[in-house]
Structure 1
């Protein structure tokens, strides 16, 4: 490839100017950069909306009208100060095994499909994606579109609906993003361009280098080479942005360790208790452990905890990971959501984590054990799957809560508000589940764990008075179906102050950290604006700030 392959005029002008962020690989930072451009355009006075034709992710949310969409597009909607709209992510794939996914179209599940089944279904998914894009784009001045994976995956291009096929439909100008932190970024960019067809290269307007550490001026020779070799400029070098305070899209980063943590110790974003010095840091941080699961979903439920100054949040994959480096047991253990509850239950049992959690729950001085959605179901006596949604049969739970769950055909999708009865504090979030969980008859425990901690009591209540979660052992073991339960500042601080009291620390007694994405999105936009040639981007879109 040489400079003769400079951008040619597109066949037709886009109906609505569209900037598309594609990448050389997964986890290059497409979602975060798309959110940044959404906020920049909003700051500049434009009506902007996000779009991703097809998202494969286990983090999702519920729209105001009770439909399910990817969490990343909900964050991008927040960057535009819009409510989540299922048109922003018309096709969502939620993997439930290595070879199959639940396929959600326009916010509703249409079935669980293996790869070849979904390929056959793709024309219908494409039609839905293109039609909803047209509907959404007609209402806005500019669109920010996110691709998926890499546009150069030649085994997938024949039935692509999310990368260059989407760019062609929208007439989008594409920024190709490379992750310079992982190395080989220039080979990845040039190689991607080499594997694109001519019409696909015509859509590529330039490159962004993401996650750069160091002096960007040292890159000048390489940037000049990229212009000469491919005829496209590098339009920005975005620094490695730490502790953004924004949800991760999928589990790639999570599996490598929670952002902002190194070896279980608070990193640059961590802070000590007010009035204490660095020397006392290990003694005053509350130690909260999130249990990893093979099919973990909605792990963003713990994001709000990461922003608290007295919290250290870390991941445990085996029983050996549960104690802190100093040997102390954690103050709380959280079982998150899962897209395959019965399969992950079997994993917990095989790894020894089920027995370890049972021992912790049986110790009166042990940690709080909490479960969210599938985590609640796992803490119970059993999970029945009469319809075969996860393979069929019945799986014994951990026996830590006297409740039973049955997986139902109809998926519950709703935004929910409620209250924590013991404190009177409000909570709010959303429910995404197939399971129907009820207190066991008599409220007695059983199974393999100490479920005999007494009758289950409603830990959270919906506005209508119905149970939104259950607790036992005096509230030391509890679970809820409410995603986002920790997002409410008052309830989160109440939970943490309870842990502090159990630890012998004085409660802070007040909200010290407000969980809001808006300031984080402004910080992100400021950093990306400073690193990117926005004048060039406005020129390529034939836009000017504040007007079309």
Structure 2
């Protein structure tokens, strides 16, 4: 089991890497995280919702996603409340006190899921959450040491040395653990190291002497690793690989190069920003984020992403000046036939005229949208969870192309009787599923190309043919030559991750802890 001295120490990717290494040895292996708090989620083939990190780890094992790998998913809707997903299905929105009272039931489900999943597996690789030394949370723990005890797992404690304070964090964590839990810690892993690892030797020896635990590896910082992130910690710090920190001049820099300038609008409750991952593999793309209206600039493509609280995030757009900037951008795009504003899920809802939450599922009440699409949205009690395939019509990318993805939303959106502000074109369905039902709507400019559009389909950019066609359409508008584009897939990046971890981690010691006779 990988546990960390803090959040974002790299536990998820280390779990994925070791899963990959074990699977490459021919072992049957599965990942497990009892409780995940994240806004990046995924829908399985069975229409069940789970955290993206365990989906990635399952792919590393060569397994389909299974909600038993992440039986409890918490999706924050505010600073004090979260939607609780149990074994793939929402059971309600709970404040902290309510969830603490519910945890006895959650722990039963966690144990049952682990016991079922582990049956028949050669190895289980578990992941903790945050830090096991949060003594204010210890009595209610179901994801760190309590889970390690149930699984009988050896624990490797991971520290992020790039963040600083790693040695103090390791010593401090050990000092705050109880004697039985300290005994479960088999060793340490320093993660995200830059430079010559031999320079660490005196510090490693000092910490080992003090705590009587060995270091089992120093794993290097992997630059520009194109794998889905579990949560928005790195993104919010402005250091997500492939995304620059927000800066108004970035648009000018991108245009000076042979690159498209693509902006992701940051939101306080942003969810599933992994929709952008496929764009990060493209050499002809520069991605940046905007958090204020004056940072938007004049990009080729603006993406308004998903949100776990569309009403609160719509208010943020107004307060930050982004609402006015987005309206101005959309109106220019429709008039001049250049540029695209695309909304995904919550972003689609915000492009519309009104968002209503009569059941208080997120914020409660209602809020006017940007008014760019004549759509109204109402959040209902039934959550749509499904894998979806369909068609993107020619107005989006110049030709009709297949798209696939998944839907996660309480909102139901549909055309309203009100007129669109721009009065430039009529609203038309631009994406449809295999039955012909609309998955997205938009407005076309005078040239017939979609300039403002939105969809409930997460992963819409993952389809190589559609993504390449859309990007090359934007390149032609800029007078740039088309590019062949890159293929998007997780396999090569998972192998790159596994190779780097294998080089930095003492896998012989790991195999020995697992009782495996592998050299």
Counterpart of 1:340 in structure 2 is 309
Q: 1:399 aligns with which of 353, 359, 371?
A: 371
Structure 1 position 453, deviation (Å)? 3.0
1:528 partner SS:
helix
Partners of 2:14 and 2:205 lie apart in 1 by 23
Q: 1:529 aligns with which of 486, 502, 508?
A: 502
Partners of 2:352 and 2:426 lie apart in 1 by 12
Pair 1:231-2:212 in alignment: yes
Partners of 1:432 and 1:464 lie apart in 2 by 19
How many residue pairs get aligned? The number is 502
Q: 1:500 aligns with which of 462, 475, 481?
A: 475
Counterpart of 2:224 in structure 1 is 243
Partners of 1:102 and 1:261 lie apart in 2 by 28
Counterpart of 2:439 in structure 1 is 468
Counterpart of 1:315 in structure 2 is 289
Structure 1 position 282, deviation (Å)? 2.9
1:441 partner SS:
coil
Partners of 1:280 and 1:543 lie apart in 2 by 51
Counterpart of 1:192 in structure 2 is 173
Counterpart of 1:260 in structure 2 is 242
Question: 1:62-81 alignment to 2 at 5 Å?
Answer: 62-81=43-62
Question: 1:78-477 alignment to 2 at 5 Å?
Answer: 78-257=59-238, 258-263=240-245, 282-323=256-297, 329-363=298-332, 364-365=335-336, 366-422=338-394, 423-441=399-417, 444-446=419-421, 450=422, 452-474=423-445, 475-477=450-452
CA contact (8 A) 2:38 2:76 kept: yes
Counterpart of 2:465 in structure 1 is 490
For structure 1, list consecutive stretches of 5 or more residues without a partner in the other structure. Answer: 1-19, 266-278, 324-328
Partners of 1:177 and 1:361 lie apart in 2 by 46
TM-score, normalised relative to structure 2: 0.94
Structure 1 position 281, deviation (Å)? 7.7
Instruction: Single out whichever of 293-302 and 216-225 deviates more from structure 2.
Output: 216-225
1:377 partner SS:
helix
Partners of 2:424 and 2:48 lie apart in 1 by 37
CA contact (8 A) 1:292 1:316 kept: yes
Counterpart of 2:10 in structure 1 is 29
1:431 partner SS:
strand
Partners of 1:260 and 1:287 lie apart in 2 by 12
CA contact (8 A) 1:264 1:312 kept: no
CA contact (8 A) 2:344 2:454 kept: yes
Partners of 2:31 and 2:295 lie apart in 1 by 39
Partners of 1:524 and 1:362 lie apart in 2 by 43
Distance 1:481 1:429, change over 3 A: same
Counterpart of 1:15 in structure 2 is none
- CA distances 1:275-326 after superposition (whole Å, capped 9, x unpaired): xxxx998331100000000000000000110110100000000011112xxx
The runs of at least 4 aligned residues of structure 1 exceeding 4 Å deviation read 261-265
CA contact (8 A) 2:226 2:241 kept: no
- CA distances 1:401-428 after superposition (whole Å, capped 9, x unpaired): 1111111100000000011121221100
- CA distances 1:320-357 after superposition (whole Å, capped 9, x unpaired): 1112xxxxx11111000000001100111121111111
Partners of 2:294 and 2:305 lie apart in 1 by 19
- CA distances 1:4-46 after superposition (whole Å, capped 9, x unpaired): xxxxxxxxxxxxxxxx000000010011111101101101111
Cα RMSD for the two superposed structures:
1.5
CA contact (8 A) 2:242 2:287 kept: no
Structure 1 position 210, deviation (Å)? 0.3
Structure 1 position 222, deviation (Å)? 1.4
CA contact (8 A) 1:46 1:545 kept: no
Counterpart of 1:478 in structure 2 is 453
Partners of 1:286 and 1:280 lie apart in 2 by 7
1:506 partner SS:
coil
CA contact (8 A) 1:302 1:486 kept: yes
CA contact (8 A) 1:242 1:260 kept: no
Structure 1 position 391, deviation (Å)? 3.3
Counterpart of 1:272 in structure 2 is none
CA contact (8 A) 2:305 2:346 kept: yes
CA contact (8 A) 1:402 1:455 kept: no
Structure 1 position 529, deviation (Å)? 0.2
TM-score, normalised relative to structure 1: 0.90
Pair 1:59-2:33 in alignment: no
CA contact (8 A) 1:295 1:338 kept: yes
CA contact (8 A) 2:309 2:363 kept: no
Partners of 2:367 and 2:85 lie apart in 1 by 26
